[in-house]
Structure 1
């Protein structure tokens, strides 16, 4: 019966259900609520839910259940039917018991952030969150069920059942270039019967640098020399003795001077150190050489070219007006270039430090629904 009142888990409109009610709440009340939540649940690297931060209110189905109890009780007393009165009391005891189980389903859950993957502007990004349950050794079947996580005004992720350690991916769609601080995560559950909605706010002080959206284009490399224009020769690398690049398996007959004896002593076998050196003239990626119509498109083209050149293991530098990154190659150089592109003219690209505090109040009203 209660399944008829359950919401679809795939919808992304859960946070907008009570928007009409939020608009009629005075701003002073919203500000007071936001300050109270910020003081009660401050940002932490690891958050464990307890009675201090768990809120519980009846759902729409819960209010319908209460109305049914009242109707049955009035019917039973009016017609002096003890069976109907007993049924109303039974439903009331179930309603009361669900409060306890709704609380226990969230209490003890510990949340901590996991290092996310690279984030690119205008693409769906996810923050992996580690959930640690309180499964008891004496009862391994005791788990947290139907746990939902959601950033403000974003899609939610539903975890049907938690293990001792579970990872939930909380979505954030269409971020802008620059630093992204998504703010608090709303955690809620309607378990066990959907009569109550228990929720809390988890602030892990998340922060992610969003790179410019890569847009495929022709690679435009410039060189300081006018005598060589072949970009496939300029900026490439060859075997040499300048830059250490890594280890590879030892080939019989190679010089023992190149053997990584430290790894041999650790029992990792015979490995050879690899060194490279630049070949040809140094080449540059330059913002001024991009032919796109606006700044964001130019930065997106640079973002794609940086990734492509890094895949080729090509040596290159990056010029962004007054900022210059020296020629290099490898993963660290790629990340440095992407960071410089993402933060270029931050006054134009930075997102707000955090979502507006009034969103917290709006979430509370929505959860109460």
Structure 2
């Protein structure tokens, strides 16, 4: 029974407050009810009124009606505190699974000041002290994530209890835009990519079998599979085979280089490898089933690769399906399992 009531209530709210990145709070979508303190206050007023009637005491009447007028005035002020306020989703952030993703909002007050606001999503809340009339304030609301993919809070609640805390007025914003959550980086095992790169494959350019590599001292950020371990055992010198120095060919990060591994774990491995390559400033390409990102370097390339890993195999969230911590991965059997460099993403 409770499930049916909640379902009907949610459908009514969804019709009343459709999804939008801009929400203007009006009489149509504002709600107001007494708080626990307000309920106790009202009961005391009722007791005082009954007492005044019983004893025909003018002073009790005066205090009762005075406090009743204060309650009515507080109700109007609490409602007016949110009326005319406009919430805009400025930016849906990005981050790694398990972290809090920032949603940047802008609250613009109408003809009246907005005081003592609270914005919340799930169990996370942010307080805003004062939004002057006709001005705006930027707010960063952290939303917890657990899975890679798209993250869109079903509802962002805005509430006020100003001035006396006897009543609370609230509404919701139901954003359309979704944040992108990258796979959680997990240290990857040493593997070789089989993606073709010119006349050679990445697996054929092993440190022990290529005489055209340039040797240089090991630097922080170099991958362990590029270290000449036999030379290190013989001489104690940590040197690295620099394949890029000979041909300038980058190293591919290949989804298919981890056979027998769960798809989500592969994406976490690739996320870690992308971070490692970006720290060393090396050029690299990313090979995913159905999508290939050509070799490049720099922060923009790193972000592009992380986004590709985040949304691979994912669909944007739908109104009928709301996940509290982001979309979960799924495999589309119609997608190809292999891709070659140069294919269109």
> Larger relative CO (CA 8 A, sep 6+): 1 or 2?
1
Q: Of the candidates 23, 27, 31, which is equivalent to residue 51 of structure 1?
A: 27
Q: Which residue of 2 aligns with 1:105?
A: 81
Confirm or deny: 8 A CA contact 1:220 1:285 kept in the other structure. Answer: no
What are the Cα deviations for residues 250-271 of structure 1, in whole angstroms up to 9, with x where unaligned?
A: xxxxxxxxxxxxxxxxxxxxxx
Deviation at 1:52, TM superposition (A): 1.2
Does residue 1:233 correspond to 2:242, yes or no? yes
Q: Which residue of 2 aligns with 1:155?
A: 124
Does residue 1:63 correspond to 2:72, yes or no? no
Q: How does 1:82-101 map to 2 (within 5 A)?
A: 82-101=58-77
Q: Which residue of 1 aligns with 2:136?
A: 165
* 5+ long unaligned stretches in structure 2: 194-201, 214-224, 227-239, 325-345
Q: Which residue of 2 aligns with 1:3?
A: none
Q: Which residue of 1 aligns with 2:237?
A: none
Q: How does 1:304-323 map to 2 (within 5 A)?
A: 304-321=272-289, 323=291
SS at 1:47 equivalent: strand
SS at 2:137 equivalent: strand
Deviation at 1:59, TM superposition (A): 1.2
Q: How does 1:165-184 map to 2 (within 5 A)?
A: 165-184=136-155
SS at 2:72 equivalent: helix
- 2:50 and 2:269 map into 1 onto residues whose CA distance is 71
Q: 1:235 to 1:132 in 2, by over 3 A?
A: farther
Does residue 1:72 correspond to 2:29, yes or no? no
Deviation at 1:352, TM superposition (A): 5.2
- 1:202 and 1:319 map into 2 onto residues whose CA distance is 38
Deviation at 1:37, TM superposition (A): 2.2
Q: Which residue of 1 aligns with 2:335?
A: none
Q: 1:117 to 1:209 in 2, by over 3 A?
A: closer
Q: 1:31 to 1:74 in 2, by over 3 A?
A: same
Q: Which residue of 1 aligns with 2:318?
A: 353
SS at 1:206 equivalent: coil
Q: Which moved more, 1:194-203 or 1:293-302?
A: 293-302
Tell me the number of residue pairs that the alignment of Structure 1 and Structure 2 aligns: 284
- 2:164 and 2:310 map into 1 onto residues whose CA distance is 46
Q: Which residue of 2 aligns with 1:213?
A: 184
What are the Cα deviations for residues 220-263 of structure 1, in whole angstroms up to 9, with x where unaligned?
A: 66526522485773347xxxxxxxxxxxxxxxxxxxxxxxxxxx
Consecutive aligned runs of 4 or more in structure 1 exceeding 6 Å deviation: none
Q: Which residue of 2 aligns with 1:9?
A: none
- 1:162 and 1:215 map into 2 onto residues whose CA distance is 43
What are the Cα deviations for residues 180-230 of structure 1, in whole angstroms up to 9, with x where unaligned?
A: 222221111111111111111112313112111123557766526522485
TM-score, normalising length: structure 1: 0.68
- 1:338 and 1:320 map into 2 onto residues whose CA distance is 12
What are the Cα deviations for residues 299-331 of structure 1, in whole angstroms up to 9, with x where unaligned?
A: 223112212322333111122355432212223
Confirm or deny: 8 A CA contact 2:153 2:174 kept in the other structure. Answer: no
- 1:232 and 1:311 map into 2 onto residues whose CA distance is 18
Q: Which residue of 2 aligns with 1:139?
A: none
Q: 1:219 to 1:197 in 2, by over 3 A?
A: farther
- 1:286 and 1:356 map into 2 onto residues whose CA distance is 32
Q: 1:47 to 1:187 in 2, by over 3 A?
A: same
Confirm or deny: 8 A CA contact 1:221 1:283 kept in the other structure. Answer: no
What are the Cα deviations for residues 58-116 of structure 1, in whole angstroms up to 9, with x where unaligned?
A: 11111101100011111122222211111111111111111110111101111111224
* 5+ long unaligned stretches in structure 1: 1-23, 137-141, 237-277, 360-369
Deviation at 1:120, TM superposition (A): 1.3
- 1:308 and 1:159 map into 2 onto residues whose CA distance is 39
